[in-house]
Structure 1
Amino acid sequence: MNNVVGLNQAQAATMLKLQDHLNTMINPDWVNGGARFLRAAFVESAEALEHHGWKWWKKQTIDLPQVQMELVDILHFYLSHTIVQAGGSTAGAAEALVADLATPASVSLDGKVYTLDALTVPELLELIGGLAVCGRASFKVLERTMTACEMSWNDAYTQYVSKNVLNIFRQRHGYKEGTYVKIWNGEEDNVVLARLMAALDPAQAAFADQLQEQLEQAYARL
């Protein structure tokens, strides 16, 4: 199955490999480390709810870009959880992710079936949190929430990859030791990253590698 609702198998594999790489840099045995990734997803869903607004007793303005950022954070933790569930196999995790996205747009929780298209954004975020508390991750629910927040899989993938490539790049170049140079010829590295990304095609399987190489070349010129 090569393409499911905007996310192709190569993109899924790229994200999972990057997540495994980053997690391994933090803890080489992270798969067996017992980290509660879905607890983190639960917290992120609550933070997204705060940025969206849910309090009926006062006026609130939706901060959509911030909600989208929280959804990408949830994606990070979902990917980690899925790799653990696959016994550390990123290939197995990719198959599970794609299979999840191919399921019908409904979820059963606590004896009740939720039709995703009928839910509001706050209700979808509550569902992500409720599933997380029960030890469950649903890429299908996350996808529907992204769509409701005007975010495509391509948007999420681009944000995810760029954030992880930069984090890994920083670690490789002395970020932890304090030797990394964050200002590149008067610009922050994330500004340079955004410019480099604009010249690349996120749909290409080699997108992450190309971005990494472009960063290396730019950093070498400092």
Structure 2
Amino acid sequence: MLTANQASTMLALQDKMNAKVNPDWVNVRSPFLRAVVIEGAEAIEHHGWKWWKKQDCDLAQLQMELVDIWHFVLSAILIKHEGSQVAASDDIFNHLTAQKLTFDGQDYVFSQLSLLDKLELLIGLAAAKRYDIGLFSALLQDCQMDWDALYAQYVSKNVLNFFRQDNGYKEGTYIKVWSGREDNEHLVEIMEKLDIKAQDYQDQLYQELSKRYSLLDVT
């Protein structure tokens, strides 16, 4: 189960990341839930949905898409609460164990929905400028993740996001595909070789990303 320390750490990291892009990000109120729509669709692609052809589920990338979605959901929660991390944390824990929701006049019980159904519901909610923490928690279970795993991957992706910004992501000079693979894929590979519990884990991860970005063919 998600701990208060994990929630507060992720909210603080998200605020720091967003502030790096725009110090006034809370007041600007960018459409973070629109990003959830896009990331949700990418998650469906990684899962596979085409009934007319054989597709294999890429679980590692599907999990990473959930981590991306969580970044945007955290941002939306912080905006809702005018940047208050305490209020945002309370919001998360008040809805963390919800098992159902009502949307567009219809009741949805999470245990009765498939993974793809949940992703579609997530997208629909986000398109309507809504989010549901209970639904996200149910998605984690379907993707063979718990909150500890999400926390570990969130911290790792946060490092990648800082790396991107430091290397020209906002300016458009960052190269996302390294030797034919997206940086997300390299991130997963590096994570498997490092100890998430190491005190300098974030520094180690950043350094490994730097090595690959400078040494590999990024064209």
TM over 0.5: yes
5 Å-filtered alignment, 1:2-81, equals: 6-81=1-76
Pairing 1:124–2:87 present: no
Letter paired with 2:201: L
Given that residues 196 and 211 in structure 1 are in contact (C-alpha distance below 8 angstroms), is that contact kept between their aligned partners in structure 2? Answer: no
Work out whether residues 100 and 109 of structure 2, in 8 Å CA contact, stay in contact via their aligned partners in 1.
Answer: yes
Aligned equivalents of 1:214, 1:34: Cα separation in 2:
33
1:200 pairs with one of 197, 201, 212: 197
Structure 2 unmatched runs, 5+: 174-182, 209-219
Q: Against the structure 1 CA distance between its residues 147 and 194, is the aligned structure 2 distance closer, same or farther, given a 3 Å change threshold?
A: same
The alignment yields a C-alpha RMSD, in angstroms, of 2.8
CA deviations on 1:23-61 (whole Å, 9 max, x unpaired) are 001000001113110010011111111111122222221
Aligned in 2, Cα 1:198/1:135: closer, same or farther, shift over 3 Å?
Answer: same
3-state DSSP class of the match of 1:69? helix
**TM-score, reference length from structure 2:** 0.78
The alignment status of 1:175 with 2:175, answered yes or no, reads no
Indicate conservation of the 8 Å contact 1:196/1:214, yes or no.
no
Amino acid at match of 1:72: V
Aligned amino acid, residue 35 of structure 1: S
Give 1:63 shift.
1.3
Change (3 A) 1:124 1:191: closer
With normalisation by structure 1, the TM-score equals 0.77
- 1:148-193 CA-to-partner distances (Å, cap 9, x unmatched) read 111111111101012213543675xx53499xxxxxxxxx995997
Identity of aligned residues (%): 44
What amino acid is the match of 1:11? Q
